[in-house]
Structure formats: C-alpha cells, structure tokens
Amino acid sequence: MGLPALAVIGFVAMMVVWVVTDDEARGAGLEKVPCADALHFGGAELPDGAQVVGACEVQGFQDIHYSAAFRMPRADVRDWLTHTYPDAPAPETEFCGAGDVDLCLDVDHPGGHPDAGAHVVQVNVEHEGADTALVRFAAFTL
C-alpha cells in the first residue's frame, strides 16, 4: 500500500516542479533575432520599402516559431507575396480569422531559400489607410 502512495507523491512532486519552472528554463522562452533570420526561416526576405515594427522573435524547443511584423507599401503586398511564394494559392480576403486582417496567406512547405526550415508560413495583412499595410509574418515547424 505504501509503494503506490509513494509513486503518486513522486508524480505530484514532479508536476509541481514542472509548473513552477519558468518557460525559459524549459526552452520555450522568446528570444530576439534579426528580422532577416525570421523571414529567411520562412523562405522570404524583407520587402523593399519595409519598416520593421518591434522586435523579431524566435521561440522553441522541439518546434520552432519565428515571428516578424513590418509595414510596407500597401500596393506592393500582393506582388511581394506572389514573388516570395510563387507556388502558393492566391492570398485570401475572406476567412482570415478574427481581428482586422484584410488579407492572409497560409503556405505549407514554403521552400524559398535552400536552407529555409519552416513547415508552415502564415502572413496576415492589415490595411492601414490607402498607402500602408501592416504585415505580420510567422514561420514555424510542426
């Protein structure tokens, strides 16, 4: 009877340690990276005329997730997407999920650069007036 009780106590103790341990110690913390690296992982490059918004980041342990946000000329977004992902379906204007997303693109196995490592790329675009678009870029493994 004592052996099962010790096993349960040991399991509970392990769960408490796991919960108390911060995410970074488990390898899941956010880390700032050059935006070129984040885009490169997803087979892309920062478009001409783009301005980075905030920090580009990577997070991961077993799976890796890169993110970047930038503003670019609204008129150039579709051309950039088509040039970057020529084999991808056309960007969506509907069914982009919640929020203020006006245009979105999901690409499985994006290719691009020979050493791009992403399995999936997601691009969400918000139109900020007539001339500017805010692009949120995510590239990750599964």
pLDDT in tens, 95-110: 887 778 999 999 998 8
pTM for the whole structure: 0.78
pLDDT over threshold 60, residue 25:
no
Query: What pLDDT shows up at residue 3?
Result: 52
The total of other beta-carbon atoms located within 10 Å of residue 43's CB is: 21
- Segment (H or E) for 16: helix 2-20
Report the sign of the C-alpha dihedral through residues 88, 118, 39, 32, in that order. positive
Quick one: pLDDT at residue 13?
42
pLDDT digits (tens, 9 = 90+) for 52-100: 999 999 999 889 999 999 999 999 999 999 999 999 999 998 888 777 8
Using pLDDT thresholds of 50, 70 and 90, give the confidence band for residue 24. very low
